[in-house]
Amino acid sequence: MNEASLLHNYLVVGSLLFGIGLIGFLVRRNMIVMFLCAEMMLQGISLSAIAFGRYHNDWGGQMLVIFIIAVAAAEAGIALALILMVFHKSGTLDMAFWQDLREGGHPAFIDHRVPEEQAEDRVWPTLTPAGIEPEVNEDEQLHRSKV
C-alpha cells in the first residue's frame, strides 16, 4: 500500500462526500437540509486537503482545514440567523416560496403533484402552539369544584 494508492483512497472518499453533498444540495428543498449538504461538501474538501498534506509532507493541508472549520462555524451562525428570519417572514422552510427574484418571463415553479401523507409519515414531535385555550364543556365547568 504505497503512498499514492493511500492518497487515492482518501481522495475517492473525499470526492464521494462532496458528490453526495452536491446531490443533496440540488435536490432538497428544506433550507436547513440544503445548508447541511453544503457543510458536507466542505467536509469532503477538508478530507482531500489533509490527504494531500500528508502526501506532500506539508502543513498547508491542515492549516486550510483549520480555517475551513472556523469559517464554516461563522457561516453557520449567520446562515441560521437568516433562516430563522426567513422562517418568521414566510412561515415555511421551503426554498420554493422565495421566487420573486426569478428571471423575467420565466414561469413560477408550482408543485403540481404533491403526494398525500401516507400512514408511515407520522406526525413529528411538535410544540403545541401557546395561547390556545383548551375546549371546555360548559356543563362540566358548572359542576366542577373550584380548586
List binders of other proteins among 80-139 (CB under 8 A). Answer: 80-85, 87, 92-96, 109, 111-115, 117, 121-128
Let me know: does 84 contact 17? Beta carbons within 8 Å.
no
Task: Give the residue from 83, 79, 67, 8 showing the smallest Cα distance to 38.
Answer: 79
Q: Which is nearer to other proteins, 119 or 136 (CB)?
A: 119
- Nearest alpha-carbon partner for 62 in 74, 51, 78, 76: 51
Give SS3 for 101: coil
Binding of residue 7 to other proteins (CB under 8 A): yes
Shortest Cβ 135–other proteins spacing (Å): 18
Minimum separation from the CB atom of position 115 to other proteins (A): 6
Tell me phi and psi for residue 21, to 5 degrees: -65, -40
Residues 46-75 that bind other proteins (CB under 8 A): 46-47, 50-51, 53-59, 62-63, 65-67, 69-75
DSSP string, 50-84: HHHHHHTT-THHHHHHHHHHHHHHHHHHHHHHHHH
In the bound state with other proteins, the residue whose beta carbon lies nearer, of 5 and 141, is: 5
Phi, psi of 28 (to 5 degrees): -80, 155
Contact window for other proteins (CB under 8 A) among 4-12, 99-107, 133-141: 4-12
Task: Determine which residue in the list 30, 89, 98, 144 makes contact with other proteins, applying CB under 8 A.
Answer: 30
- Min separation Cβ 138 and other proteins, Å: 27
